[in-house]
Amino acid sequence: MKILFASSEIFPYAKSGGLADVASSLPKALSKEVDIIRVMPFYGFMDESKFDKTDIQYDINLGGINYKIEILSRLDEDILTYFIKAPLLSDTQNLYGDSGAYANNDMRFGIFSKAICSLASSLHVELVHLNDWHCALSAFWLKNSDIKTVFTIHNLAYQGIFEVQTLDRLGISREHFNFQDLEFWGKCNFMKAGIRYSDAITTVSPTYAKEILTPKFGCGLDGFLNFYKEKLSGILNGIDTDFFNPKTDRAIFKNYDKNSLNIKKENKKELLKKTKLKDENLPLFIMISRLVEQKGFGIILDSLEDFLKKELNLIILTEGSSEYRTPLVEFAKKYKNFELIFGYDENLSHQLYASGDFLLMPSLFEPCGLNQMIAMRYGTLPIVHNTGGLKDSVHEKTKKCGNGIVFSKPSKKSFMLAIRRALKLKNTNSLREFDMSCDFSFEKSAKKYKKLYKELL
Contact call for residue 246 and ligand ADP (CB under 6 A): no
- Residue of 94, 226, 255, 349 that binds ligand ADP (CB under 6 A): 349
∠ Cα 304 309 311 (to 5°): 115
- Residue of 1, 2, 17, 218 that binds ligand ADP (CB under 6 A): 17
Site for ligand ADP in 276-315 (CB under 6 A): 288-290
DSSP string, 70-134: EEEEEEETTEEEEEEE-TTTTS-SSSSBSSSB-TTHHHHHHHHHHHHHHHHHHTT-SEEEEESGG
- Residue of 4, 107, 147, 370 that binds ligand ADP (CB under 6 A): 370
Distance in angstroms (rounded) separating the CA atoms of residues 23 and 349: 19
Residue 268 near residue 284 (C-beta atoms within 8 A): yes
Which CB atom, from 120 or from 271, has the smaller least distance to ligand ADP? 271
Which CB atom, from 119 or from 288, has the smaller least distance to ligand ADP? 288
C-alpha pair distances (Å), 25 with each of 127, 129, 211, 325, 451:
19, 14, 25, 32, 18
To ligand ADP, the closest distance from the beta carbon of 339 in angstroms equals: 13
Contact call for residue 18 and ligand ADP (CB under 6 A): yes
To ligand ADP, the closest distance from the beta carbon of 447 in angstroms equals: 21
Distance in angstroms (rounded) separating the CA atoms of residues 5 and 131: 8
- Residue of 126, 266, 345, 433 that binds ligand ADP (CB under 6 A): 345
C-alpha pair distances (Å), 99 with each of 43, 321, 333, 399:
17, 8, 25, 48
- Residue of 207, 267, 371, 393 that binds ligand ADP (CB under 6 A): 371
Distance in angstroms (rounded) separating the CA atoms of residues 75 and 180: 41
To ligand ADP, the closest distance from the beta carbon of 361 in angstroms equals: 8
SS3 155: coil
To ligand ADP, the closest distance from the beta carbon of 155 in angstroms equals: 6
Site for ligand ADP in 397-456 (CB under 6 A): none
3-state helix, strand, coil in the chain (%, to 5): 35, 25, 40
Distance in angstroms (rounded) separating the CA atoms of residues 371 and 361: 8
Q: How many CA atoms lie within 13 A of 17 on its CB side?
A: 18
C-alpha pair distances (Å), 380 with each of 25, 433, 438:
21, 10, 13
Contact call for residue 254 and ligand ADP (CB under 6 A): no
Which CB atom, from 192 or from 377, has the smaller least distance to ligand ADP? 377
Contact call for residue 234 and ligand ADP (CB under 6 A): no
Residue 387 near residue 393 (C-beta atoms within 8 A): no
Distance in angstroms (rounded) separating the CA atoms of residues 185 and 164: 10
- Residue of 221, 271, 317, 359 that binds ligand ADP (CB under 6 A): 317
Which CB atom, from 74 or from 290, has the smaller least distance to ligand ADP? 290
Contact call for residue 325 and ligand ADP (CB under 6 A): no
Site for ligand ADP in 120-179 (CB under 6 A): none
To ligand ADP, the closest distance from the beta carbon of 372 in angstroms equals: 8
- Residue of 3, 6, 14, 21 that binds ligand ADP (CB under 6 A): 21
Residue nearest to ligand ADP (CB): 18
Q: Binding residues for ligand ADP, per CB under 6 A?
A: 17-19, 21, 288-290, 317-319, 344-346, 349, 369-371, 374
